Every structure is written in C-alpha cells, then in structure tokens.
Amino acid sequence: MILSTLLLSTFASGHSLNGTDAVVLQPSAVLLPNGTLEEGASVLLRGDKILAVGKSIPMPPGVKKIQLDGILAPGFVDAFSLRNSSSLQESSRALTPALRAIDGVQLEHPFWEEALQAGITSVHVVPNPLGEGDPYHVLAGWSALLRTGTGFGVDSYLESRTLVSRSRQILGTLSGWEQSREGGPSSLAGIAGMLADAASTVPLSRHGTLAFVDSAEAVRLVRRVGKEQKFATYFLCRGDVASYGGELSASLVGLPAMSDSTFSPRLLETWRRLHTADVRIAFGTDRSGASLRETAMSFAHATGDLAAAMAAITSHGAEIAGMGGKLGVIKPGARADLVLWSAHPLDASSRVQAVMLAGKTAWSAPFQEVKE
Amino acid sequence: MSAQSAAPTLYRADSAWLSSGKVIQPAYILVRDGKIATVSSGKPMMARNLQVVEIKGVATAGMVDAWANLVPADLLSAQVRPASLQVTDALPVDLPGVDPALAMRVQSARRAGVVAGYLGTGGSEMQQGLGTPATFSASNLPVSTGKPALDLAMGSARMGGSGQFKATKQVSELLSSAQTLQDNLDEYSEKLEKHEKDLEEYKKKLKEFGEKKKKEEKAAAEGPGKNGEEQKKEKKKAPPKRPKPPAKPTPSLTQSWLLDVIHGERVLRLHAESAWDIQEALELQEKYEMELVIVGGHEADLVAEALAEAEVPVVLPVHSSYLTAPSERSFATRYQTLTEAGVKVALASGTGDGSRALMLMRAGNLVAAGADKADVWASLTAIPAAILGFENGPGSLSPGAPADFLLFHGPHPFNASGFQTHSAKGGLLK
C-alpha cells in the first residue's frame, strides 16, 4: 500500500517561527539523552533556546502548539573536522598559537547545506596538524565552531555562523614526526618545552584545550603540561588508537569517524575496549567524507550502547567544542538546534524531515511518497 | 549459548520473517547438526522433549554478499593477478589458526549479518578468473560451495590498477573463439568417430595381411618355389597403413571456462559499468544463451527494461565509490529504477570490509529514500542467494539452511544498531 505522508507542522513547512514567541513542539517522540525515545514528550522553545522538555511541561498562556509527525532529536555535532577548509596550517614556525581555523573555512561550499540535510547542525573546524609532505612537530591555534546551512551571507559569517570563533586552543603533539622538520623540537621533551612556553605566553582558551595525540607518550606529556599549567585538555586521536587506548580511560576523546576505507575489524574491537574503559567518545569527520551517522550506528552495534552512540555524535561533540550542555542535547537552556526524523536517527531507514537551527526552520524535506 | 554440540537445539524467537515473506509469531527454530531442521509457529512434535532456548527478537535470514573479497590477504594485495586465477586454489585449508587475519575478517562479516558470499578474483576490481560462492566454517574461514562463476571485467569497469580488462569487442571475440572451439571440437568428435572405424578396418586388414603372408610363406616352404621375379613382386606388397588420429583442438584456459559458460555449467559475471557495455553484454547473452550476471552496473538503470526482459540480474555494490552519482541518478534512484522495471538486484559490499560492515545501513538508506522494505531485504538475502545457486541455503530461513540467521529488534531489520547474528557454530555472536 502506498501512503502519502504529509508533514503537518510549520516546523517542516519552511515557515520560520517568531524568535520571541514561545512555541511548544509536540513530536511523536523526543530522543532522550539515554538514547531512548519518550513518546508524548513536548519541547518548549523561546527564541533560540529550549525552555523545557517533558511530558508535563509548563504551558505559557496562548503558547503556540505544533504537532510533529516524527522523532525530535538534537542536531548532530561534528566534533572535529578539517573538511572544506583550505590550508589551516602554518609552516613558518613549529609552534603556531595564532593560527585561526575560521580563516581557512570555505563558507560557500555546498558541504554546509549537505551537512544540514544530513542532520548535522554544528561543525567544529580545527587546524590541520599534518602538513603536505612536511608534517609539523607541534602546532597550535584556534578552532571554530560553525553551524551548517546556507543563507547567512559571507559578510556576516562571523556573527551568524560562528558560535565561538575561538572556541578551543589546539595543541599538536604528534610524536611520530619528530625527525622531519627543520627548526622544530626533535623529541617529546622538546615538544613539552614548547607547549609549556605556549601556555605561558599565549592566553589560553577559557573553554580548555584540545591536543592532537598519536601515542601513549604524547597523552602523558599533554597531561603533565596541562597539570603544570593548569589547563583542561581533551584529546583528538590520530594514528593507531588501539596502541595507546589504555592511557585514555575515563577521558573525553575525539575519534575519527569511520569510512569504507578506514574500517577494520580491529577498529570495532578498539571501540569496544575504549567503551569498556569508560572513555567518552566524540566522533569527528576529520579529513575524510566519513558519515557521523553510519559511524554511530556501527558504534551502537559494536558496543550495544545506543546512548553512547548518540552522545558520540551530539553532546560529546559539543563538549569537545566547548559547548557542553548548550548544543547536542534537548534540555532546558540548550540551543534549539533540532532535527525531525521519520524514525530513530540510528535506524538506517529513518530520514531527515526537517531541521531547525536556533529555533528557526532551516530546511525541510520535499514531499515524498512512502511505501509501507 | 552454543549450538556446537551435535544435540539438537530448539529456539523460540518472538517471531520470524520467512523467506516467503510470511511472518510467524512466535517462531520455533529447531537446529540440528548446524542446520535448520524446522521453522514453525508451534512447538514441533519431534522436539517436544527438548528444552526451549528463548531468544529475543525477530529471526530472519542472514545476508548474502554477492560480491565479497573475503580471500587471503596475499591474493588481495597482488598487483598483477594472473588471468588463470582460481579462487578455490587460494583458499586456506579449513583448520583453526591457518589464516587468523582472514578468520577475523570473516568473523567481522558474520557480526555485520553476512552469512555467505561470492569470492571474486579481484580486490577493488573484478578482473578475470574463477570465483566461487562460499559459506563460512566453524573456524571462520570461507568454504567453497554452490555454482562457480567466471569473472570477466569489461573496459568500463576499469577503476585503475593493472588488471585484465576486456573491451566489449574482446569479450565478444573470446566468446566467438570459444564457439569456434566448440565447432572444432564437434568436428573433432566426428573425425574421431571416423578414425575409430578406420582403425577397426585397419586392424582387420592387418590381420588379413598377416594371415595371407603366413600362408604364402608356408606355401613357399612346402610347395614348388616361385621363380625370383615372382618372389620380388610379392615382397613389394606393403602392409596396410595405420590411420592417423585426428588432431584434438587445444583450448586456452579462458576458452575452456567460456565453454563451460556456453554449456550452462558456469555463470558468467561480467563486471560492466556503462550502459553501452551492459547492452552489448545482453546481446552476447542472447546469442550464446548463457547465464549472465551484471556486476557493478553503474548505468544499469539506463537499460533497466532490457535487463528485465533478458532476466539478467544485477549486483549493485554499496561501496562509497558507487554512491557518488549525480543527484538525479543517486544510488537510491538507480536501485529503484531497476527494481521497478522488474530487474533482480542484489546488494553487495563490492570491495572492502568497511562497505560490508555498512551494508545493512546503506540498504536502510534505500528504504529511507522510498524503496520498498521487502524489495530491499530480498536484495540482501533471497536474490543474491539465488544468483549464487543456494537453494534452501544461506539467505533463507528454511529447513536445510545453515543455522546462520539474524535476530533484530524492532519493526524491521534495517535498524543496524539493533540486530545480532546467530552463528550455527557459535550461537549468538557478541
């Protein structure tokens, strides 16, 4: 039987909600932080913020109620990406604390619209720790958290797209490249010295620091420098994570999302071990075109933990980007970056029906006949 | 829980999706010697004394990967593969620990829900040689089974590398030469038959000659002797000449494989991407009445009607390199065009363990794009099983099939995070 599905709400019709009005969204179900669906729950919004979530939320007088045919989930957050940025590198010095990821981002690339339609509402762009043929020993700089979609204009991109233009300070400690670069440190000890120097001369981000690591030594080094200089550090993992995963227990780490070419049976085993060791994982698309959602589905299948899989592409990514609790979650105080799905987002047969950015409808799917 | 022991095991699942499309609730699955003995909604009489093992979820057939590369690593990494490659020669002996890397990849395939597949002769690209369908052993190694096939890649399948790709004309010439060889073999048979008759005649004449000669010698010894001239004349009578056997045509390996294809003993899997090549392949199929499967088929949708009319199935890889198409011909559009035209489409990993791990998810994307759930599920199970010649085997949840099946939770199996694989040898895989 062929059924026609109409998206009933203004959420999906392209109509923008008035930013000052309070609105209650009443979807078929809301995706809770534990990965399960709560039927009958509503979400109260005002402007770009979520005010309340639950089955019995306060209803301001005259509030507009919008019924939605689908599952309401937080927008995906890409924890770290180098895509659609030109050369986010600096080759004049070993340590580059002034490098800004935002300066290399190609804002007019179709990627931003494609990402939005895939349910990704925020992308955390970081400087590239690896050079072309001349990898760096150490790199520093600032990441940028961008929201997806189009129609914001190039001139005002810093205001409209950049949530925090200097969200995270990036430190590179890739120990595998020590011998190659002229003028850089020739050992991890040298890297430690430069990092300590950077921390004492450059104002550190109030959002904390991210460090690229590729070995147990690098993890220990960053931890030691962070402790000495009193800054919080999270790790963006490169190289063979299985070989140093034991150093990461109980940490929040960014792992590259999986693609056809980067998959291996060992990768799944590594995920399972990290998950068992209470490592909180956030997936980033890094340099590849890997899919956050496919990665989360594989992660859920490998670990059996739906909540951790969803967090890895939503709330944990937001935390990596310095926006923990404000993005990637449906809870009071969080930004209303919401996606309406036809079923659970980690059900492969589910599709994005509409996307809301900061309380405004940014995209809705064209009418589609659905066979059941 | 394990089905290792020879004793039968009776499972009770919440329900089961049968190969016929019927759903039974609950579902009792009796497993004996690693195979499904019965599937029924009531407890089978023959198992009334067995303790029931409860399993949560909906039981359904496992997936069959119609183009896999689950072969030893050295075969995958070989830069130049000989045209005479036979995958069965390269498979390891089925013993635990023989090829741990391959065993790990097979186990990973099982966890992804794949219970059997076709082992082709190429890694990222199918080239030329004999591949084989295979199931997986208790040691997680591939075991050749089913109908073998000849892989041949046409020019449009080239994606790089140094393999042997055939232009359409070359494939045509190969088949033509195989047909000529067949004609020559027929002629040889006729000549051989005649030769055998000639040989009988020769033997007869030789015998007569010998007897006559013996008689003459005897007469010469006993009777009045002939004069010298007469004796000389007699000596000139030569014995009959032995007829020469006809020369047997000697086929090349490719010719003999193609002869098997023409005789219907082997399937021809043509890796072809362009509509032009596929159309040409269909003409060859009609001419030689061979069993043909199109593999790759990037533009197969453009000749969907012709494929449906010729009843030639298509194996579509879900690998990311096949998903990048212009928006008007997305993977989902191409799939739906083929299925709506009546073409049997099998989804396959194509290459790489990653696309196999993502096969179910990418199939689910087709459903999300509007494809029919039952069609898509058949493309992962019954259709590839039929292409590989499995009857009541992998890809079906029916008596006689290996007890390798899936259990999913929810309304359908496309929720990739919500299913488990049951292995005939290892129980539910963790």
Residue A103 and residue A119 in one domain: yes
DSSP element (H, E) containing B368 = helix B359-368
Q: Give yes or no: residues A136 and A280 share one domain.
A: yes
For the ranges A103-117, B168-182, B216-230, B314-328, the lowest mean pLDDT is seen at B216-230
Distance from CA of B377 to the nearest CA of A (A): 12
Residue B367 CA to residue B386 CA, distance in Å, equals 22
Q: For the residues B221-245, what does the mean pLDDT come to?
A: 72
Is A343 contained in some domain?
yes
Q: Are residues B285 and B302 in the same domain?
A: yes
Cβ contact A371–B373 (<8 Å): yes
Instruction: Please report whether residue B228 resides in a domain.
Output: no
Average pLDDT over residues B86-95: 87
Per DSSP bridges, beta strands A37-39 and B27-32 are: unpaired
Instruction: Tell me: do A158 and A197 sit in the same domain.
Output: yes
What does the block give as tokens for B227?
A: 């004069």
Regarding whether A145 and A61 lie in a shared domain, the answer is no
The sign one gets for the Cα dihedral A309, A12, A116, B339 is positive
Residues B255, B140 share a domain: yes
> If DSSP states are collapsed to H, E and C, what string results for B247-306?
CCCCCCHHHHHHHHHHCCCCEEEEEECCHHHHHHHHHHHHHHCCCEEEEECCCHHHHHHH
Whether B310 is covered by a domain: the verdict is yes
Locate all alpha helices (DSSP H) within A230-353, ordered by sequence: 265-276, 292-303, 306-312, 315-320
Check residue A370 and give its pLDDT. Answer: 44
- Among chain B residues, the shortest Cα distance to A118 is held by B365
Residue A325 C-alpha, separation from nearest chain B C-alpha, in angstroms: 25
Contacts of A226 (CB under 8 A, 6+ apart): A209, A232, A233
User: β-strand A22-26 against A42-46: which pairing, if any?
Assistant: antiparallel
Same domain? A296 vs A345: no
For residue B234, being part of any structural domain is answered with: no
Give me the sign of the Cα torsion angle A283, A284, A285, A291: positive
The answer to whether B174 touches B166, Cβ cutoff 8 Å, is yes
Domain that holds residue A207: 76-320
Query: Do B51 and B189 fall within a single domain?
Result: no
Asked whether residue A34 falls in the same domain as residue A153, the answer is no
Pairing, β A71-74 against β A338-341:
antiparallel
Range of the domain at B331: 63-212+246-395
Q: Does A272 touch chain B (CB under 8 A)?
A: no
A355 within some domain: yes
Interface test with A, best of B417, B419, B421, B430 (most A CBs within 10 A): B417
Give a yes or no: residue B267 inside a domain. Answer: yes
B105 to A370: CB separation less than 8 angstroms, yes or no: no
Same domain, B140 and B259: yes
Nearest CA in chain A to B350: A260
Same-domain status, A46 and A107: no
Residues B8 and B113 in one domain: no
**Residue whose pair of structure tokens reads 């509509």 in the numeric block:** B275
Residues A306 and A36: beta-carbon distance below 8 Å: yes
Whether A163 shows a pLDDT value over 50: the answer reads no
**Contact at 8 Å (CB) between B343 and B304?**
yes
Residue A295, pLDDT > 50, answer: yes
User: Domain for residue A325, yes or no?
Assistant: no
Mean pLDDT over B146-154 rounds to 83
Based on the domain organization, do A252 and A108 belong to the same domain? Answer: yes
Is A371 within 8 Å of B319 when comparing Cβ atoms? no
Q: Are residues B183 and B297 in the same domain?
A: yes
Q: Are A57 and A17 in contact (CB under 8 A)?
A: no
Question: Could you tell me which of A338, A337, A346, A367 has the C-alpha nearest to residue A146?
Answer: A337
Would B223 be classed as within a structural domain? no
- B103 in the same domain as B3: no
Q: Taking a C-beta distance cutoff of 8 angstroms, is the pair A341, A352 a contact?
A: yes
Question: Does residue A188 fall inside a structural domain?
Answer: yes
Structural domains in chain A (count): 2
Residues B323 and B202 in one domain: yes
Structure tokens, A135: 């990898």
Q: Say yes or no: B390 and B401 in one domain.
A: no
Confidence of residue A85 (pLDDT cuts 50, 70, 90): low
pLDDT class for A128, splitting at 50, 70, 90?
confident
Q: Residue B133: beta bridge partners?
A: B118
Do A51 and A89 share a domain, yes or no?
no
**How far apart (Å, rounded) are the C-alpha atoms in residues B430 and B428?**
6
Q: Which amino acid is at B407?
A: L
Same domain, A316 and A341: no
Q: Is B153 on the interface with A (CB under 8 A)?
A: no
Does one domain contain both A139 and A205? yes
Task: With respect to residue B219, please indicate whether it lies within any of the assigned structural domains.
Answer: no
Whether residues B330 and B307 fall in one domain = yes
Q: Which residue has the higher pLDDT, B74 or A368?
A: B74
Last residue within a domain, chosen from A320, A341, A357: A320
- Stretch B55-82: mean pLDDT, rounded? 82
- Distance (Å) of CA A337 to CA A110, A147, A282: 20, 9, 18
CA distance B353 to chain A (A): 7
CB neighbour list of residue B265: distance below 8 Å, 6 or more residues apart: none
Number of domains in chain B: 2
Cα–Cα nearest to B31, from B45, B17, B11, B52: B11
Confidence label for B304 from pLDDT (cuts 50, 70 and 90): very high
B72 and B199 inside one domain: yes
Confidence of residue A107 (pLDDT cuts 50, 70, 90): confident
- Domain membership of residue B241 (yes or no) is no
CATH of residue A11's domain is 2.30.40.10
Task: Report yes or no on A6 lying in a domain.
Answer: yes
Beta pairing, strands A64-67 & B419-423 = unpaired
Task: Cite the DSSP H helix spans in A155-286.
Answer: 157-160, 188-201, 216-229, 265-276
Is residue A279 in a domain? yes
CATH code, domain with A275? 3.20.20.140
Q: Is the dihedral of CA B182, B187, B190, B196 positive or negative?
A: negative
Confidence at A104, pLDDT banded by 50, 70, 90 = confident
Report chain A residues whose CB lies below 8 A from the CB of B416.
297-298, 300-301, 346-348
What's the whole-number average pLDDT of chain B?
85
Mark whether B41 and B86 lie in a shared domain: no
Q: Domain with B420 in it: what CATH number? A: 2.30.40.10
Q: What angle do CA A75, A157, A284 make, to 5 degrees?
A: 40
Residues A138 and A255 in one domain: yes
Return phi, psi of residue B429, to 5°.
-75, 135
Nearest CA in chain B to A296: B417
- Whether residue B414 and residue A306 make contact (CB cut-off 8 A), yes or no, is no
Distances (CA, A) of A358 to A74, B275, B277, B348: 11, 46, 51, 40
Asked if pLDDT for residue A138 goes beyond 70, the answer is: no
Nearest CB to B358; choose among A294, A300, A372: A294
For residue B328, the model assigns a pLDDT of: 66
Site from B333, B336, B361, B377 to mutate, A interface, most A CB atoms within 10 angstroms:
B361
pLDDT tens figures, A219-253: 888 888 778 777 777 888 888 899 999 999 889 99
